[in-house]
Amino acid sequence: MPQSYRVAILGATGAVGTELLELLAQRNFPVAGLRLLASPRSAGQSLVFQGESLQVEAVNEQSFEGVDLVLASAGGSISKAWAPKAVAAGAVVIDNSSAFRMDPAVPLVVPEVNPQTAAAHQGIIANPNCTTILMVVAVYPLHRVQPVQRIVAATYQSASGAGARAMEEVKTQSLAILNGQAPQPEVFPYPLAFNLFPHNSALNDLGYCEEEMKMVNETRKILGAPDLRITATCVRVPVLRAHSEAINLEFARPFSVAEAREILTQAAGVKLVENWQTNYFPMPIDASGQDDVLVGRIRQDISNPNGLELWLSGDQIRKGAALNAVQIAELLVEQDLIRPTLTAAIAGT
């Protein structure tokens, strides 16, 4: 009989949490029991999994008893507080926050890129930042053929990166503007509807924000290239749930557009979207709800004979967060890296 696992979702009522719930069902993950965990404010809500209504519980000291796998998407401070407790209870934690990503003892995994690193986990595996995931899925197939020397990235990031409330804020602000009223920002510091602004995470002394430094540091760790030259400019744009990125790649020697296109056509997790006659390339509206990263507009950098330009769009909630986490879980199952507990099944499932 196939092995199945007792799973908990920490942050179950958030945008990524509800997507995790859907993906576990859609991808037929071997769930023996499911526990939905969130803050006391969200406790008592009901969510549906495979036709069954499950009640959300407030996370507490006993929440991880009998749990084999925790999918966490509840913010860095919450992960720091609860992930070690889950590991101590015998679970493997796949964490979507930034809490453990740069910890040398914690694998930072994108299954299409560095699946081999998952085996080194000591109870926690980190899910990379959404912008990093989307970029490395597109860049790694080329990097594997000819190592990238430098990356210059510009991102166009949707409201979903700041959660469900941010998505609703864009809708509310759009209606206000269309009705001749002033948009009121709450989640974001400035109105995002019909507007854009550099990413609002904290700036360092060099003028780079946290989001940009995540792309720099996480990409180096995932690719195993600590000296990779990389710079990024991250921008919030009035799109609901899919990020886009303009990527400039520099190699040690010329990389033909035809070869790059052929490689990306066959790459896992990538869908080539190019129609040069109609000027049709990846767009957030097409990427929303899709598992693949849409890549296109592959062209020679006219300023650099060793440079290539790429454009991509990818669903921030899906591949940028929930899907990548579930794929890591599937990888753990495939490699027998989760040890099911022998305690009683989770109540309510």
Pair 196, 310 in one domain: yes
Pair 143, 271 in one domain: yes
Edge to edge, the sheet with strand 197-198 lists 197-198, 229-236, 148-157, 242-251, 307-315, 293-300, 270-272
State the pLDDT at residue 138: 98
State the pLDDT at residue 349: 42
State the pLDDT at residue 340: 67
What three-state secondary structure class fits 298?
strand
- Quote the number of domains for the chain: 2
With contact defined as beta carbons under 8 Å apart, do 95 and 38 qualify?
Answer: no
CATH code of the domain covering residue 255: 3.30.360.10
Q: Is 196 a member of any domain?
A: yes
Q: Is 339 a member of any domain?
A: no
Pair 190, 212 in one domain: yes
State the pLDDT at residue 341: 56
Pair 102, 210 in one domain: no
**Nearest partner of 160 among 321, 316, 291, judged by Cα:** 316
Pair 243, 228 in one domain: yes
CATH code of the domain covering residue 32: 3.40.50.720
Pair 283, 306 in one domain: yes
State the pLDDT at residue 346: 44
For the chain of 349 residues, list the mean pLDDT of each consecutive stretch of 10: 88 95 97 95 93 95 96 93 96 97 97 97 97 98 98 98 94 98 97 98 97 98 98 98 97 98 98 98 98 98 98 97 98 89 43
State the pLDDT at residue 75: 87
Global pTM reads 0.94
State the pLDDT at residue 2: 67
Q: Looking at beta carbons, which pairs linking 79-85 to residues 24 or more positions away fall under 8 Å?
A: 79/10, 82/10, 83/124, 85/61
Q: Which residues are annotated as catalytic?
A: 130, 243
Pair 254, 283 in one domain: yes
Name 84's Cβ contacts closer than 8 Å, sequence gap at least 6: none
Q: Is 54 a member of any domain?
A: yes
**Nearest partner of 71 among 120, 119, 131, 22, judged by Cα:** 22
The residue range of the domain holding 283 is 131-316
Pair 72, 177 in one domain: no
Pair 191, 221 in one domain: yes
Pair 114, 144 in one domain: no
State the pLDDT at residue 29: 97
